[in-house]
Structure 1
């Protein structure tokens, strides 16, 4: 055996595992024609300090603290940008940059009404909105809006980022920003860079991730509702 960094995972209670297992069993036999109707959505926060602990340095013994071997990282002084996006087999929404904290009213007025509703109309009958159980998402005003518009939201299990393929898109975007020769220096530059990276992600990458949904469900079942490699 060799020492390795542990895989990070959310805390799962017995109730979480049961919910995940029930979802996976219900959707394990879904075909691509079913997943084609789903818009996978999520919010994510990106910071100007993009240290992801993947950097390595070559050094001699005793040189650990040498200036050339230190990756400087400001944990508290950097700005951040929160974004919302949605992906599907056939396309994606615009990336929405949240200038303030997300509330139920803002979620309805800035995301559901201008972004999700037109997308649902384009997809047509059978459209399904995948959103997690964050408080603004399940607030009464948002549920009422979806009901009034005839938009159905999937029953999504709590604590299940590994089931949502958009999580991999956030990772791709973070890596892309981190690997730029000139990193964003301001919050506005970071926001502009995120929108650009979002638009440049090949649709085939998104399709590949969504096609993995049957495997994700099978892994959840195999793990009895526990963590998966995703």
Structure 2
């Protein structure tokens, strides 16, 4: 049974979400501010977090930042704010998805399942495979069995979405992917208004794998077309 931590200062919202999640077979942990959430995470393991942005004490933004210092567990942000800037902020601080209030509970459940599928596919949950697949491009190396990314021998910590995007590009080094192609491949849904979402994740990847993100060695933009990993060497080995 997978465990979801739901954190919102509105107890009615927490209860409503809990009802839908438990009905789908999930175990639910409940918190009512960021400090509650962090305390629970010290004692219990959660497979996914649902965090409200506006909370007293420690809000969802600062809570996400603290969690991201130690964990890549999927995080879905809830907020009454629906403007693009607020969505970008949620992604910027490490969230994997963003839903505005009021929301359809069935959509929330669907997004929870989608994030968990991606996380499971990354190997953070489940059994490791027998064979090892390593994709190399210059000093950039992805081990798709251990889900580790290194640059010049230094380990790089990526979120599940960032890992999937980078793996897609590295596996197809030299090929240019449009924003819509990246979004469709990673999110498995139609790319509507995907520009900001993809751009934020691309920027995060650059900040983590490039010595100088303003002059990237690996992750290049092809203006008016999309993004690619510059081919620099053997892409795959064992």
TM-score (norm 2): 0.24
Bigger RCO of structures 1 and 2 (CA < 8 A, at least 6 apart): 1
Greater fraction strand = 2
Q: Report the structure, 1 or 2, having the larger helix content.
A: 1
With structure 1 as the length reference, what TM-score do the two structures score?
0.24
